[in-house]
Structure 1
Amino acid sequence: MKRLIDLIKNKFFLVTLAFVIWMIFFDKNDLFSQYEYHQQLNKLKQEQAFYQTETAKVNKDLEELTSDKAKLEKFAREKYLMKKDNEDVFVIVHEKKK
């Protein structure tokens, strides 16, 4: 017990304890902020991976559309419902099951 009281009275221990408490709870870069920054970083990395895959898909589609006239016509018909002058377009919409 005397040893614990001596430790509490030690000025170096008190200063170190105050420093640790300050760094954990009150500093600009405390542990809670670091955890939030880490979570935000993980979210941004996931978004980066998503956008990189989407960019790769779009670049692949662009390459296909600029290289082949038949694929360009097929893409325009499917995505934008374009048609030739003497054609009719019928759009079939499937109902979603509830």
Structure 2
Amino acid sequence: AKNGLKNERGTIAMARTNDPDSATCQFFINHKDNDFLNYVENGNPGYAVFGKIIEGMDVVDAIASVNTTTRMGYNNVPVKPVEIKSARVVSQ
């Protein structure tokens, strides 16, 4: 998205289909820098970053290290479901 924010480690972005205007309620946390997801003028519409993990990146790292499998054609699906039980908005 053309908001000046990059898909860098620890940022939170909207998930979407190939339609750049299809983001609704799904999001992802960038576990590493993902430059290929960034907006490019006259090119890739990118994925809209709207937040950042400011505390608890160790939890994100732990989630990223869980055992995964392939399920119903999707790769890297956690063997055991991962749940976010709490999150909060803080001003910085």
Q: Which has the larger radius of gyration?
A: 1
Q: TM-score per shorter chain, which class?
A: under 0.3
- Higher RCO, 1 or 2 (CA under 8 Å, sep at least 6)? 2
Higher helix share: 1
Higher strand share: 2
